[in-house]
Amino acid sequence: MADIFKEYEGKLPQKILTDLKQFMPAKASQTKIKQICEQVVKEYNESKADPGECIGNISAESIGEPGTQMTLNTFHFAGVAEMNVTVGLPRIIEILDGRKELKTPSMEIYLKKPHSQGTDIKKLALSIKETTLDDITSEFQINIVDLSVEIMLDKQIMKDAGITNTIVANALKKYTKGYNLKQQDDSFVIKSKSKDANLNDLYKIKEKLKPVHLKGIKGVTQVLPVKRDNEYLIITAGSNLKDVLKLDVVDASRTVTNNIYEIADLFGIEAARQSIINEVFGVIENQGLNVDIRHIMLVADTMCNSGIVKGITRYGIVSQKSSVLAKASFETPLKHIINSALIGEVDPLDSVVENVMINQPVPIGTGLPSLVTKIKK
């Protein structure tokens, strides 16, 4: 039986083949199996999109119609401490436009055992969260008479975050060149070494010190341990996948971010494509809508065609169109027409929009094939 299936390996997708093997009656004879397989191949070939079928249009309609039913709001994360996630239509637009700055960047950090079973999960989550000087400071005081800045530290917060005075002192050293750093019991005093220091400089150094990184992963502003399918993982607000993957408690093979560009930089264009599919499909599924995943695959393939992620905007994939008229019909028509007039661009009129514009048959479906004469030499 296995020999017969081997014959069909190039002709049918792997999934259909495994289904065939699974559901084939055990008593079926060789000829019957062969007949069934032939029929499946026939059906499969008939279900393929025909050459010239406008699949892009079908995808646009299929994603666009359910899109009208999607929510326009961002939601609070299951009622837990102020964590927001962009969902629904705004998120879809964000992904398909290929935005680099996301509204709510976020990571899903999977952990290795035993932490995935809940050991030390809270401590671990807190150690990933970024702590800056501003977070552990109760007050910044500027002493006008002494011309010094005093940083009052909150002992309780420091203890919770596991930060000692030495860590703070080491971190501050880098940023306070030209200043004297004096450590007192629960405060640091910064004073300029030069005599002609003025108040302006003090303000500047104060503002400069506020975001000094003390502990955790840069960019991660919030952490939330959650349980999903008998496993604990950490969801974060703020994304820095590169640094998270370096931690040895993290199961790096499954940890992901929702920032497509970060994925593309770290894992390459194919991973970015898969990530676009996962993200868009996730949103649509989350909203209780039903869109065939093939439509999303088509969009993702188009966005990743040129080796880098390009959004569906006039700066992204639309700018790659060969036709001037097609580009002009999308957005900012005057700009496109003037630019191509300046360099004497020629429109070959071999796509859809430009032919609609000048009232000609469009090259889709039965309009696609044309007659070519073969000239004998």
Q: Which positions lie near another protein, rule CB under 8 A? A: 13-18, 127, 245-250, 252-254, 256, 263, 265-271, 274-275, 278, 293-294, 297, 301, 304-308
The rounded distance, in Å, linking the Cα atoms of 17 and 254 is 28
At 47, list the tokens: 């279900």
Measured from the CB atom, the residue of 85 and 269 that comes closer to another protein is 269
Q: Of 129, 161, 95, which Cα lies nearest the Cα of 243?
A: 129
Dmax (CA) for the chain in angstroms is 100
Q: What's the rounded Cα separation, in Å, for the pair 53 and 48?
A: 10
Residue 249 C-beta: closest distance to another protein, Å: 7
Q: Tell me if 258 sits within 8 A of 239, measured CB to CB.
A: yes
Least distance (Å) between residue 40 CB and another protein: 14
Instruction: Give the residue with the Cβ less far from another protein, 136 or 304.
Output: 304
Q: How far is the CB of 253 from another protein (least distance, A)?
A: 5
Cα gap 80→125, rounded to integer Å = 15
> How far apart are CB 266 and another protein at their closest, in Å?
6
Q: With respect to another protein, which residue has the nearer C-beta, 47 or 200?
A: 47
- SS3 at position 320: helix
Shortest distance (Å) from residue 265 CB to another protein: 8
172: how many CB neighbours lie within 10 A of its CB? 19
* Shortest distance, position 267 Cβ to another protein, whole Å: 5
**215 or 336: CB nearest another protein:** 215
Task: CB nearer to another protein: give 41 or 189.
Answer: 41
When the beta carbons of 237 and 296 are compared against another protein, the nearer one is 296
Q: Which two tokens stand for residue 292?
A: 């065939």
Four-residue CA torsion sign, 273, 289, 257, 247: negative
Contact 241, 253 (CB under 8 A): no
Whichever of 226 and 247 has its CB closer to another protein, that residue is 247
Task: Name the strand (E) or helix (H) holding 140.
Answer: strand 137-143
CB 160 within 8 Å of CB 127: no
Is residue 25 reached through a cis peptide bond, with omega within 30 degrees of 0 on the bond before it? no
Task: State the nearest-atom distance from the C-beta of 187 to another protein, in Å.
Answer: 28
